[in-house]
Amino acid sequence: MSDIQIGGFVPFTTIDYPGKLAAVLFLRGCPLRCAYCSNRHLLNVGDGEYDTDKVLEWLHGRIGKLEAVVFSGGEALMQGDALIEYMRRVRDMGFAIGLHTNGFYPEMLQRAASVVDWIGLDFKATRESYGRLTGNDIAYERMIKSLDTWIATGRGMEARITCDPRFISKADVDDITTLLAARGVKNIAIQKYIPHFEDEKEQTTADAREQFFNDAALRDKINSRFESVIWRE
């Protein structure tokens, strides 16, 4: 098995896999360059900072204590079949497998469906703004294909919208959630944009970032469309 490149590790979380105690592995490499990325240090492919066999040993010691392992990034699916094989080894220990993905690799997501139990899929903006936000002109089409691919599996998912007012408006959030509901998505998360770096902090105001959460009519409308809506502030 080829090694995957693990660039970060969280040993315990209650928020990254719904309803389960989980660990999170952050894999290196991403095809996108999103303006609000909080994991810039993981964007480029490079040597991992964690020994993959030692991570497996550590997970073996957490059998019966943790319930799930989430693969995040970067974009974990960028690591291809080596990732799927590693996920399988983790799943064979009895852990549920979660995946956080930007949806850029729908064919790889289809292959991963045999071992992945749940995904968190980023729906970043409308088609018109996607390229400007991600730095990639085909990211929207690939994400939509991944969305439809995963819905067809019938497995669990959460569609996630990060409300960066530089790239998305309240009307856009309304349109995106309408599209998601029409496609059969049941669970979504609306996430507040939080600037992480100095070059971002002067580009928006607190009022602009909070407008999505302070609009009671918008919240009620979106809440009515889904079985579960998480407003992550």
Q: What would the pLDDT profile of 175-220 be if each residue is shown by its tens digit?
A: 999 999 999 999 999 999 999 888 888 899 999 999 999 999 999 9
Distance separating alpha carbons of residues 16 and 26, to the nearest angstrom = 12
Distance separating alpha carbons of residues 23 and 90, to the nearest angstrom = 11
Domains and CATH numbers, the chain: 6-232 (3.20.20.70)
Distance separating alpha carbons of residues 186 and 36, to the nearest angstrom = 26
Query: Which pTM does this prediction carry?
Result: 0.95
Q: What is the pLDDT of residues 61-85, one digit of tens each?
A: 999 999 999 999 999 999 999 999 9
- Cis ω for the linkage preceding 103 (within 30 of 0): no
* Close Cβ partners of 104 (under 8 Å, ≥ 6 residues apart): 31, 32, 75, 77, 78, 136, 139, 142, 143, 146
Mean pLDDT computed over 14-30: 96
Distance separating alpha carbons of residues 169 and 167, to the nearest angstrom = 7
> What percentage of the chain carries pLDDT values higher than 70?
99
